[in-house]
Structure 1
Amino acid sequence: MRISTVRRVGLAVAVAAALTSVGACGGPDDGGAAKGDGKAESRGTAVVKTNAIAALLDVQKKTGAASSAKVDATMVLGSAMSMKQSGALDWSDGISGSMKITYTGGAMADTLKKAGGSSTMEARYFKDGYAADMGAALARQTGGKHWISYSYDVLAELGGASGAVMKDQMQNTSPSQGVNALLASGEVKEVGKEEVRGVAATHYSGTVDVAELTARTSKLDAGRLAALKKQLTDAGITTETIDIWVDGNDLLVKKTERGQMKTGELNSTVFYSDYGTKVAVERPPAGETIGFKELLQQQGAAGTAS
């Protein structure tokens, strides 16, 4: 795999992760951005939730506190990429865990195929960054190092507004962020009762203004926030429809996000199961790992030499 190709692939993954995460930006932990009073009334020993906001406040709390789960997901990001992912994640202190990622279509899959790389890779997530196994094609270019290590600080530095958002999201994310987004928008309704992979669930839906939600919940300074809004506008992302399905224990079992980009649809579906599962992840061996910034520096040195 050519180093220039790895650079393009690496930056594309970072930007994609940032753009798809802003639609799930977390609202305030106490649901303070939600519209509606969220009241519940008691009838005997049961508590009857009077509206969708009240129900989602319980989901937000219980899903966020669950700490870990198994995850099974698919995502389409316009013509850039489509992928499927499976693994287990822990969000008790930032994101940690391991996911198997397969690029199933789009420019990303084509680039990997032409470069001789595998369309399937492993990603390991840590509090300060993540590592991706790019396989033998990368190892041939880096003296046997087939893992790329991405520091969130480096991605924030190199990626501008997208990198800053990605850093914030990956260090403060949990499955309840889809719930937070609906609470922050205030535009949420209960659709009905449905079954999700054999589990009885309640379906909620709402539409989120991506730029407004980002402005309200982001920790970015004014300059980077303006840059991010421009980036979203240039990409054609304005609103997303978020649907969630919740089981009888107020735990999220499914989430979908749908929107439009200039390059096509933005569509993701995530299933959650086995809450509380044990998640253990090890950093790849140092001798088999190269930092993304170091990779870029090597490319620059190679370009100068030629």
Structure 2
Amino acid sequence: MSTSTWKRAGIALTAVAVVTGIAGCQDGDAKAGGAEPKAQSHGDVTKVIRAAYEKTSAAKAAKVKMTMSIEGAGAGSGTIEMTGIQGWAPAVMDITMKGSMLGAGGPDSPQQMHMIMLDQIMYMDMGAQQAAEMDGKRWMKLDMKAAADASGDKALRKQLTGGLDNMNQDPAQQLALLLDSPDLKHLGAEKVNGMETQHYKGTLTLEQMLKANESSKLLSKEDHDELIANVKKLGLKGYDTEFWVAEDGYPARMDIGMTMAQGTMKMRADYSDYGTEAAVQAPPAKDTVDLFEMMKDFGKEPGQA
């Protein structure tokens, strides 16, 4: 397999892990016309978040458009956009990716990539050109559960499969996280994608982020403290979250922004059609090549990958 194929696979996985793991602080489309509503108290905002959480959790799936941009990180800078279906009960995705970050795989990089997540397995359509290097199989399969099982390490199994679940962190989980934010604010009425919404903002610390991450619970206190210290050295203290709740009670948009010494990352997720059927199907087995099987052929153990 060519180096460019490995690069594209890595870029795609990184983008999905980041974008869907924490669904950039940007302004709304426009302020709504008319008189500004009375500012809501912290208690009122908490009630709105809790109600939106309950509705979103029950919806189980929605159509989504996610955009991520990274600035000031040198070769790692760029943008990527994902559109498609996201489900969170169970965790599934069927999305198409495009953007300048895909071009980092080389001059023959595809303009877009189709990705599917189902049953803790990710599939990446590497394109017709790369299929020629993989016996005509254009889908790369990344089975985290199988790799963890092969390792025989129960802790590793929890870490790998839990990490994949976290990659699909849904809007309901994001709302639940915000309930722990001590500085929730109501910023007023705005229009988002033609819808009347109410704009809110909250801040989450690094410690709150880790507390909500199942994989981090596997760490010892010493390792946990070391992780926090190392991340803080990068300049990351937490992230700001903004969200816009439509009149139907569902979040129409969620933004997250993070600033570190190496640069800034902004992400935006626009949601619609809550409750849509997430009929995600895996590609035919005859059209897939297993990444971890390939790694074993190269002499690496599943856990090392």
For 1:61, the aligned partner's letter is E
Q: 2:89 corresponds to which residue?
A: 92
Residue 53 of structure 1 corresponds to which residue in structure 2? Answer: 46
Q: 2:250 matched to 1:258?
A: no
Aligned to 1:181: 177
**Is residue 141 of structure 2 the alignment partner of residue 149 of structure 1?**
yes
**Quick one: which amino acid aligns to residue 293 of structure 2?**
E
Conserved 8 A contact 1:16-1:77: no
Please report how far the alpha carbon of residue 22 of structure 1 lies from its aligned counterpart in structure 2 after TM superposition: 5.5
Q: Does 2:133 correspond to 1:120?
A: no
Conservation of the 8 A alpha-carbon contact between 1:14 and 1:166:
no
Cα distance between partner residues in 2 of 1:231 and 1:12: 23
Q: Distance in 1 between matches of 2:63 and 2:18?
A: 23
Residues 293 and 73 of structure 1, relative CA distance in 2, 3 Å threshold: same
SS of the equivalent of 1:268 reads strand
Aligned-pair distance for 1:233? 4.0
Distance 1:175 1:186, change over 3 A: same
- Segment of structure 1 superposing worse, 133-142 or 251-260: 133-142
Q: Give the SS at the match of 1:269.
A: strand
User: 2:233 & 2:160 partners in 1: Cα distance?
Assistant: 16
Instruction: Give, in angstroms, the shift of residue 285 of structure 1.
Output: 1.2
Give the structure 2 partner of residue 105 of structure 1: 100
Structure 2 CA distance for partners of 1:130 and 1:183, relative to 1, 3 Å? same
Distance 2:234 2:11 in 1: 13
Q: CA deviation at 1:200?
A: 0.7
- Code of the aligned partner of 1:269: R
Equivalent residue of 2:166, what SS? helix
Cα separation, 2, equivalents of 1:282 and 1:274? 20
Query: Does the Cα contact within 8 Å between 1:256 and 1:270 map onto a contact in 2?
Result: yes
Q: Secondary structure at the match of 2:295?
A: helix
Residue 205 (str. 1) matches residue 201 (str. 2): yes
Which has the higher mean CA deviation after the structures are superposed, 269-278 or 146-155? 146-155
CA displacement 1:150-190 (0-9 Å, x = unmatched): 22336878xx899566324146x321222122112232111
Query: Counterpart of 1:34?
Result: none
Counterpart in the other structure of 2:37? none
Distance 1:228 1:152 in 2: 23
Cα distance change, pair 97–168 in 1 and its aligned pair in 2 (3 A): closer
How many Å separate the matches in 2 of 1:89 and 1:178?
14
Per the alignment, in what secondary structure is the counterpart of residue 56 of structure 1? helix
Change beyond 3 A, Cα 1:57–1:189: same
Structure 1 unmatched runs, 5+: 25-47, 302-306
Mean Cα displacement is larger for which, 287-296 or 5-14? 5-14
Number of equivalent positions: 269
Q: Which residue of 2 aligns with 1:68?
A: 61
Distance 1:49 1:263 in 2: 34
1:272 aligns with 2:271: yes
1:10 matched residue in structure 2: 9
Matched residues in 1 for 2:48 and 2:134: separation? 52
Secondary structure at the aligned position of 1:98 is classed as strand
Q: Unpaired runs of 5+ in structure 2?
A: 24-40, 301-305
Q: Percent of pairs identical after alignment?
A: 23
Whole-angstrom CA distance in 2 between matches of 1:205 and 1:88: 25
Instruction: Return 214-223 or 257-266, whichever deviates more.
Output: 214-223
User: What letter is aligned with 2:188?
Assistant: G
Return the alpha-carbon distance in structure 2 between the equivalents of residues 186 and 254 of structure 1. 21
Corresponding residue of 1:304: none
Could you say if the C-alpha distance between residues 225 and 183 of structure 1 is closer, same or farther in structure 2, counting changes exceeding 3 Å?
A: same
Change in CA separation of 1:16 and 1:236 when aligned onto 2, cut-off 3 Å: farther
Whole-angstrom CA distance in 1 between matches of 2:54 and 2:250:
9
Question: For residues 20 and 214 of structure 1, do their structure 2 counterparts lie closer, same or farther at Cα, with a shift above 3 Å needed?
Answer: farther
Superposition deviation, residue 138 in structure 1: 2.3
Distance, in Å, in 2 between the alignment partners of 1:298 and 1:187 is: 52
Distance in 2 (CA, whole Å) between partners of 1:167 and 1:227 is: 23
